[in-house]
Chains A and B, each alone.
Chain A
């Protein structure tokens, strides 16, 4: 299956990522699909990470954890959080096939971030579900 996003949809998604995350001090936020493709990203020019590699690993990581969930009788773990000394990563599922990933430092509170993630997911879902329904 191939899917296409046009300029308007991508502008809207990038706008959501910028408004919801750049203002609260998140270093980098990106939306990927479960195949590991990068759909949109925002980093306020602060990050020089290789997001294509990060996306491939994030999709694999999320897939592995979802399979673990099934083995213990859960449908899925819909969010993941990896804590580092300086930087942490938060993963959250969007619809069936997408992941929203944020990278942030200690200045951002996890609770506030989760609120913002929930907000953003609702808005992005609107755009992606229009796209994914034939």
Chain B
């Protein structure tokens, strides 16, 4: 639910990082926080369990600068990935404008990626939103693990598993090293802003 403030000429947009547990959603936000320190005026908010897993969400407000004369404030959120936290995951999706799906490239996580996409579709549906219509980008994370000899799914397999029907942009990435983290972010911002513009016309 983006909000356009005509008085201050400001647009607030909500983008949610979704995906299975331990996939690297929080790591994406941490990398963005460290890279764009100058644009982020506050601390990143993280509601975690004692074991350092996301319990509710992480939150990072991000100033995009001006687009067509409007100050664009992007609010980045992550959801808790663990299956048992579905109620809180659904809450974070309320009013979402764009989604980055962070998939885990490890072979052993193949099924949890697919279940998580299905779960995203179901949770969006509770807000009467369609996974086929919402601005969405896939990120195939942890590509750096190939160097450590850990068996990974090929990008083609992941495309086929997750993106064969949706056909949205996707990136191979390493949130830990920062590869393609910013490209993923730029892509979802572009898609989301284009969708908002369309809605206004």
- Which A residues have a C-beta under 8 Å from some C-beta of B? 1-7, 10-11, 33-39, 50, 52-53, 56-57, 59-60, 63-64, 67, 97
Contact = CB atoms under 8 A, between A and B. Distances in A.
B1 A2 contact: yes
Interface of B: 1-7, 12, 14, 41-43, 45, 47, 56-57, 59, 61, 73, 75, 77, 87-88, 91-92, 94-97, 196, 199-200
Contacts of A6: 6-7
A5 B61 CA distance: 21
Contact of B95 (A4, A34, A57): A34
B94 A59 contact: yes
- Main secondary structure, interface of B, reads mixed
Given A2-B199, A52-B42, A53-B42, A36 B75 contact: yes
A1 B47 CA distance: 27
B94 A10 contact: no
Given A35-B96, A36-B95, A37-B75, A53 B61 contact: yes
B57 A35 contact: no
Contact of B3 (A33, A53, A56, A67): A33
Contacts of B1: 1-3, 33-35, 37, 97
Contacts of A53: 42-43, 45, 59, 61
Nearest to A71: B87
A113 B84 CA distance: 39
A37 B200 CA distance: 19
A64 B3 contact: no
B7 A2 contact: no
A39 B5 contact: yes
A36 B7 CA distance: 19
Nearest to A97: B1
Closest 3 CB pairs of A and B: A35-B95, A63-B91, A37-B3
25 contacts: A2-B2, A2-B3, A2-B4, A2-B97, A3-B2, A5-B4, A10-B7, A33-B1, A34-B95, A36-B75, A36-B95, A37-B3, A38-B12, A39-B5, A50-B41, A52-B61, A52-B75, A53-B42, A53-B43, A53-B61, A56-B45, A56-B59, A60-B56, A60-B91, A60-B92
